[in-house]
Structure 1
C-alpha cells in the first residue's frame, strides 16, 4: 500500500499525550482557530456552547417529545448476526416519541443516526433545510446556534442529534474510523471514551478503501475521488463558479461597468466546468436508493466485532453540499492486500478492518502488525463537555449511558479548512455561499410556519 501522505498537522509525541482541556470562555474564536483548528489539534472544552439560545443541555424527555415527538425519524437496527449498526439493513421509520420511549424502556437494538432526505421526499426549499438540520432537530432549531461563535469562520455543513441506549455496566463500542469533516461534538448525556490516531498514521489503519492521498489538513482522498481538500466536489465548485460569474455579469450589465472583465470571468468558469464535467467519483451502483448508499458511505455507520456489543458513534462521510445532494456516492474499493482480514462488504471505506479486541488488546500473533507503529492516544468526554476533532483523525468511541442507560449528543460538522487564515479558512466562497443559502431558506420557512414539519 503506497500513497502520498502530505499531512502537516499535529501528531501526538507519545501515547501519553492527551488533548488540552480548556474553558471555552477563556479563549476567543481567533485564538482557538490559531492554536487548535489551523494546527489540527484535538481539544476538549469543559463546558457547552456559550450562546444565549443554547438550551440543549437542559433538554428533558417530555420537552423533546412535546416539540419533536410527531416528527418521523429513520432508525438503524442492530444486525442480527454481527450485533452492530451501519450494516446496510433497511432503517425503520417511526415517530420520534415512539423511538425515545423504546430507548427509555431498555431497547438496546435501535440507534438514531444522521437523517438523510431525497429531493423526492420534500420540496426543494425544505430539502435544503432538512439536509442541514434533519429531524428531530428541525423543531428544536431555537435551542442552539446554527453557527457556534467559537468556530469562527468555519462553515457548518450539518447538525445532528445522536441517541442510543446501553447497559450502564457494559459500555458499547464503535468501529475505528475517521470523519471527513471537522467535528464539534457536544455530549449531553452519558460518557464517551475516544481512542485517537492522527492522519499521519493512515498507512497503519488497515482501511477498507484504497487511499490515494492524505491532504495537508488531514482530509483523505481515495482512488477515483474528485474532491478538494475541503471536501468540495470538483464539479460542484465549477458549477458554483459559473453561477457566481453569471451574477457578476448581470450586475455589470446593469451598471454598465466591468462588462469585459465579467465576460472573461464567465468564459473561464465555463471552461473550468467543461473540464470538470467528465470527472466524477467512482460510485456505488448496486444499491436501490440514495438512503442505502448514504447509510453505507456514512461515517456514522458502526462496525461491530462479533465478540463485542457495539451500538453507536457519531460520524458521517463526505458531508452535504447544501443545494446539491449527490445521488451516488464513492464506492468502497477493495482491500489493499489480499492478506488483510476482510470486514463485511457493507463497511464504508473510511472504516478500519481492525477489530476492537485487537485495537485495545493486540494478540501475540496479530493480523495487524502495522498497528504497533501507530501512536495511540485516548481521552474521556463527560456530559456537557465538547470535543473538537479535526477531519481525518481516526477514532474509536466507547459509549456509556447515564443512570437510565441513555446517551445523547449534538454535533456540528464543518468543512475542513485549507487555509491558516482566521478570516478566510477556505480558498473561495463555495461553502459560505451554500450555508447562507440554507440559512435564508430556513428563515423563510420559520416566517411561514411556527413549526417545521
Structure 2
C-alpha cells in the first residue's frame, strides 16, 4: 500500500519472560522479529472504554482505531494536527525561498520563473495550514492564543510519547523496572485482569505481525538459549494510520504525510 512511515524502532533485550505491559500505539505497527520468541495478547481498540481501563482519559476513539487522550493536541484520525500542517508548510516555504535566491543569483530567467511559482505554491499551502481545521476544532492560530493565555494545548505531544523507553531495564519495549507506567495509552491493569477474550499470537524469528492503530497488546519476550548472547531482537515500522474512508491507493485524505516524509528524505539524502 501507500502508507507513510512515521518511525522505525529497534527493540532488544536479554531478559526472558518480561512483559511490555498492556498498551496501545498511535500508529499502524508492522512488527518483525529477528531473534528470540514473542508472545502477543491482543484486543481490539473498540474495547478501549469498556474493558481496557487506560491510565489516561479517552477524548475520542476514531473509526480507524486510533485513540486520542485528553491533553493531546486535537487531530484527524490519521494523526495529523494543525501544528503538523504548519510545520510542513513552513519548511516547504523556506526551501522554496532558498531555491528562488539561488535561481536569481544564476540570472537564468526560466529557473527564476519556476522558483517564483514554487514560492507562490508554498505560500498558498502555508495559508491553508494556518486555516487548517481538523474535525471541526480550532485552527492553529486559535490554539496558539490558548497557549498565550496559559492554556496547555501541548501538554501531551502524542508523537513524542510514541518512543517510550524502559530507562531501567534491558528491554526497551516494555514498562519501567518497577512495573509502573503512567503514560495514558497504557492500561491500569495487567493483561490477566482484562475481562474480555484475547487473541494470542506466538511470533518466532523471521516472522512478522501487523497491528492496526489502537490495538491493545501485551508482548512477552523470550530469548532462545544462549545463542548470539541469548538476546531477543525485533524491528518495527510505525505508519501513520490510514483514514477509515481511504483506499489502498489513497489511504489519507490529503498528501500531508507524503510531503512530510519527502522533506525528511530530502534532509537526510534519501530518495
Structure 2-normalised TM-score? 0.72
User: Which residue of structure 1 aligns with residue 187 of structure 2?
Assistant: 352
Which of 226, 239, 258 aligns to 1:414? It is 239
Matched, 1:157 2:6: yes
Secondary structure at the aligned position of 2:269 is classed as helix
User: Which residue of structure 2 aligns with residue 182 of structure 1?
Assistant: 28
- Whole-angstrom CA distance in 1 between matches of 2:118 and 2:20: 56
**Does the 8 Å CA contact 2:56/2:69 hold for their aligned counterparts?**
yes
**Does the 8 Å CA contact 1:181/1:415 hold for their aligned counterparts?**
yes
Deviation at 1:187, TM superposition (A): 0.4
**Does the 8 Å CA contact 1:299/1:348 hold for their aligned counterparts?**
no
Q: Deviations over 1:232-254 (max 9, x none)?
A: 23222134346668959x89x93
Secondary structure at the aligned position of 1:178 is classed as coil
Structure-to-structure mapping, 1:106-145, within 5 angstroms: none
Secondary structure at the aligned position of 2:83 is classed as helix
Deviation at 1:265, TM superposition (A): 6.2
Residue ranges of structure 2 left out of the alignment (5+ in a row): 101-109, 133-139, 147-151
Structure-to-structure mapping, 1:282-361, within 5 angstroms: 282-283=154-155, 297-298=161-162, 300-301=164-165, 312=171, 314=173, 344=180, 347-355=182-190, 359-360=191-192
Secondary structure at the aligned position of 2:78 is classed as coil
Secondary structure at the aligned position of 2:237 is classed as strand
Secondary structure at the aligned position of 1:392 is classed as coil
- Whole-angstrom CA distance in 1 between matches of 2:257 and 2:29: 16
- Whole-angstrom CA distance in 1 between matches of 2:90 and 2:269: 26
RCO higher in structure (CA 8 A, sep ≥6): 2
Deviation at 1:276, TM superposition (A): 4.6
User: Which residue of structure 2 aligns with residue 213 of structure 1?
Assistant: 60
How many residue pairs end up in the alignment?
235
- Whole-angstrom CA distance in 2 between matches of 1:403 and 1:219: 37
User: Which residue of structure 2 aligns with residue 105 of structure 1?
Assistant: none
**Does the 8 Å CA contact 1:158/1:413 hold for their aligned counterparts?**
yes
Q: Deviations over 1:318-341 (max 9, x none)?
A: xxxxxxxxxxxxxxxxxxxxxxxx
User: Which residue of structure 2 aligns with residue 401 of structure 1?
Assistant: 223
User: Which residue of structure 2 aligns with residue 426 of structure 1?
Assistant: 252
- Whole-angstrom CA distance in 2 between matches of 1:311 and 1:278: 43
- Whole-angstrom CA distance in 2 between matches of 1:214 and 1:412: 22
User: Which residue of structure 1 aligns with residue 153 of structure 2?
Assistant: 281
User: Which residue of structure 1 aligns with residue 136 of structure 2?
Assistant: none
Secondary structure at the aligned position of 1:177 is classed as coil
User: Which residue of structure 2 aligns with residue 202 of structure 1?
Assistant: 48
Q: 1:223 to 1:378 in 2, by over 3 A?
A: same
- Whole-angstrom CA distance in 2 between matches of 1:213 and 1:300: 22
Matched, 1:237 2:106: no
Residue ranges of structure 1 left out of the alignment (5+ in a row): 1-151, 285-289, 305-309, 317-342, 363-370, 447-453
Q: Deviations over 1:224-282 (max 9, x none)?
A: 3222211223222134346668959x89x936989999977664444444345346634
Structure 1-normalised TM-score? 0.45
- Whole-angstrom CA distance in 2 between matches of 1:277 and 1:432: 25
Deviation at 1:382, TM superposition (A): 1.0
Matched, 1:380 2:239: no
| Cα RMSD after superposing both structures | 3.8
